[in-house]
Chains A and B, each alone.
With several copies, the nearest count.
Chain A
């Protein structure tokens, strides 16, 4: 997917070296570059114009490309996504911003019954090159309906790609790939990583693997942490901490939930023999179910211990003052790692 990480049309005069950039800035740059390169790319959503989005991810796009390229729509998510379907039918590449995870739900019928199915029902004649950006997850002190992790819904809908970056570089590269994709991509942006910074060169963004490829963020031999999005930094921290216990954990960042990179995951777990799936979404019928089931099936003879899951509780997302009790943190990850039957002392009843 070489074309997806080019730096846009800026002249050499404006070129810069790497400098600290946030994920929000990288996402913004990805849209800017895509819009510059392809006049068919249109950004639309609530408050994406003058305001630049409530997270400022579309900052400056209307100023640069005009109101017809980055458009404040009426406040109606089904209407937004439905209109995007029509625009895609006419050859545009809409990039839709849903303001918060739970506010994508009104568009669920358009998503499940049209966006996901249009290519298939028309035997490929009406592909849906739509990117649906969904800020997701908690940890930002949001009140109810502002912190849902809705990726399980999208994963369970054949026809959609589901992608989620965990790093600044991936944010840029994966969003470019999503916009360039001829298939609909639900692009899940971990809210609490929006302001995380990394060294990054907007004029020569690093090449990153494309949609459908997981990445081993940290090599290890003792056990594999399988994770994505907002839980990647948690797992990296847990892996650091586990070194004190003499454990060398591998961390796999899935990057795409659909397509699912089974090869990378299975290779890792067969090598380490142990796995913990970590995510923020509720555990029951959450993404980890599919992942653990698949690992269990494909790595059966290599497993030294059951595949464990560390996830959000099976509850509606808590109010801000209690969210820390819900979010899977380093301690819970380490607890799960400790239960991976290092000495065949399997404890019944843990999660």
Chain B
């Protein structure tokens, strides 16, 4: 990572300053009678991504100094738990306990690093793919899985957890993150928002509008694009012709960073830096993490229709859990006892999820009307009464 990418080197000045720039600072001079000197509104050079995905694993970087032993072990533990969580959720789908599960197997480094990069007061904006990030942030897996189980649309208190609801309409969560981060800054609060989106989601208009708002408002947001190679069946080459997705950053006046999404330490480092940059007033960052979706899009998908087993196999050697574990063992940071302990913890977590998810959820049909509005309309009161009557009749065995 070049040193020029420090938070001090911000692309857009503070909002107030930007807004006083006049149109005369734009290009357009005729040399023979020069207008006020032209200059671009930001220096493009530091906004461009590295030529290759940034990596730390397999390099000579002194990881025990930065991020340090504790963080390395924490990343490892969460990665192992994350993998186990993915397996457990997938199994629950097979047992009919979840309506659907979009697995993040293979993407655990991104999911975990996103959660760990944030401070307590920061907000996470996950997509449907990112239940693991919410779990790694400390949320109850059963609450996190509510949407996918299907007893309600959403399962936790977003304000208490500072994790927004899982977003299904693609990229729509990105402007939310911008608005929230902007609001917090207006209120003088120290809050960074990290918003997650897929490679496919970058094609949506909302992606564009969110990044532009973030840059113009200099909002403390980090956009993490998990480029996992596919939008359901559509490969990246049909999604974009850009050199990399990180190259989109410069077009908004924000830095674009490219990172190996299966290198947990690298993702953690790049996100951490972007979060710090946002926190210190440096504005938003776009991070592209290059990874791979090892499972089908969801359990309902048939991935053999659009990719070969060989392609998937090639990525097995680059498994994020494997990569980290191998490296930590090589460096003597991880020993057998710790690894076993971590595995045991993950098993216990899985057992806990299994047990609680095997219980039938409490269904509350009358909640259908409870929070459509702060107060029920006359029409909704009528309809609620109708359903209540039907439920009562059913309970009495009349139906």
Contact = CB atoms under 8 A, between A and B. Distances in A.
Interface in B142-159: 147-154, 157-159
B154 to A, nearest CB: 5
Contacts of A315: 368-369, 372, 380, 383
Interface in B372-393: 372-374, 377-380, 382-383, 386-387, 390-391
B294 interface: no
Nearest to B148: A143
Interface stretch (B107-115, B179-187, B326-334): B179-187
A187 B294 CA distance: 35
A109 B169 contact: yes
Q: Which of A83, A158, A183, A322 has most B Cβ within 10 Å? A: A83
B233 A143 contact: no
A106 B205 contact: yes
Contacts of A76: 203-205, 208-209, 212-213
Contact of B169 (A91, A103, A258, A331): A103
Contacts of A341: none
B65 interface: no
A263 B381 CA distance: 14
Interface stretch (A20-28, A49-57, A201-209): A49-57
Most A CB atoms within 10 A — which of B176, B302, B365?
Answer: B176
A159 B373 CA distance: 6
25 contacts: A46-B234, A73-B238, A78-B175, A78-B205, A79-B175, A79-B178, A86-B175, A89-B164, A92-B186, A105-B169, A113-B172, A114-B172, A123-B152, A123-B154, A145-B168, A212-B377, A259-B373, A262-B378, A262-B379, A263-B378, A313-B380, A316-B372, A319-B150, A320-B99, A326-B368
A54 B164 CA distance: 27
Interface of B: 19, 99-100, 147-154, 157-159, 164-165, 168-170, 172, 174-184, 186-187, 193, 200-201, 203-206, 208-210, 212-213, 216, 231-234, 238-240, 300-302, 305-306, 361, 363, 365, 367-374, 377-380, 382-383, 386-387, 390-391, 399
A183 B371 CA distance: 10
B372 A79 contact: no
Contacts of A106: 169, 204-206
Interface in A207-247: 212
Nearest to A52: B305
Nearest to B125: A86
A3 interface: no
Contacts of B172: 82, 109-110, 113-114
Interface residues of A, number: 85
Interface stretch (A4-12, A124-132, A166-174, A272-280): A124-132
A102 B169 contact: yes
Given A86-B183, A314-B380, A114 B368 contact: no
Contacts of B205: 76, 78-79, 106
Given A85-B176, A106-B204, A143-B100, A325 B387 contact: yes
Nearest to A260: B379
B305 A51 contact: yes
